[in-house]
Structure 1
Amino acid sequence: MQLDATDLKILQQLQADGRISNQELADKVFLSPSSCLRRVRMLEEAGIIHHYCAVIDAAAVGLEVDAFVQVTMRRDVEQWHENFSQALQQWPEVIGSYIITGDANYLLRVRARNLKHYSTFVLERLYKTTGVLDIRSNIVLQTLKDTQQIATSLLVAE
């Protein structure tokens, strides 16, 4: 799907406020409500708008630990990737998982109530997963920027 300036404005507004009414959105992007709704539905059907969600303040709900964990796997274990991928789907502490380049195979973002909870997760789940060779944790001390919003300026070809 080719995005035009109006589509980009719609995406920008929805990223700022996913609960905005169609009428308000239409007013902000200078469309009729029916045209605006049609465009939003096209963006959803094209998979550009993946889903809508509420962003929860982790600290406010008692999740004090935010960690990035590099996991290196043993390559001599059969189906190490499939087994690890399946296991991490069962861990609610893992809020992001990525296959990465470099020394490790995976980068995980983990949230835990406190250091004891985090330690239990690492020792009782992560280290006990078949094929895990090494784990390197980086505990976040302070967050400077954390967003899921994609700047619409990145979407415009130069």
Structure 2
Amino acid sequence: MTERRAGDLNDADEHEFSNRADRSSTAVRDTDGSMSVTAAAQRFSALDGATPMPAQLFAAEAVSARTDTLSRMELGDLAWLAELDVDDRAEAVAEIRDALAMAMNSKDSAPLRNMLHAWAATATVMRDPLRRAVHTHRADDSDFVDVEIPRRGGDVRP
């Protein structure tokens, strides 16, 4: 990160400062000691979208390590993890970790947000016992029937 003092910037420096901010980040220190940091909007968006996630992920992992019965209160924004069984929860946490690393490296938090939304939707489905049974039921032979090949009839177009 490039750091400059506010009084030191002329027009050429401001242009260079802006170009560097597009590539990484730059900082201007005011005469009172305060600092302003400039970063590309995409990088800021990625950081803003991913910043709270490490603490939430660590909390979820700590609670999961302590017990299989999770408290929604302890999980905060990841409370939906409590709806999942142990295996699905472990898979979700691993995917969160991977998506978080990808968001930080690619400077794009959209895949992280999309993955969190998909897992939250899965948890919502699994909360309902009937829906859970539909998705986790093992099929047996009685679940399948023989059908005839459709025949061309008067209402079927060639």
Fold match (TM-score > 0.5):
no
- Which TM class, normalised by the smaller chain length? under 0.3
State the TM-score, normalized to the length of structure 1. Answer: 0.25
Larger radius of gyration: 2
Q: Which protein has the bigger strand share?
A: 1
Q: Which protein has the bigger helix share?
A: 2
State the TM-score, normalized to the length of structure 2. Answer: 0.25
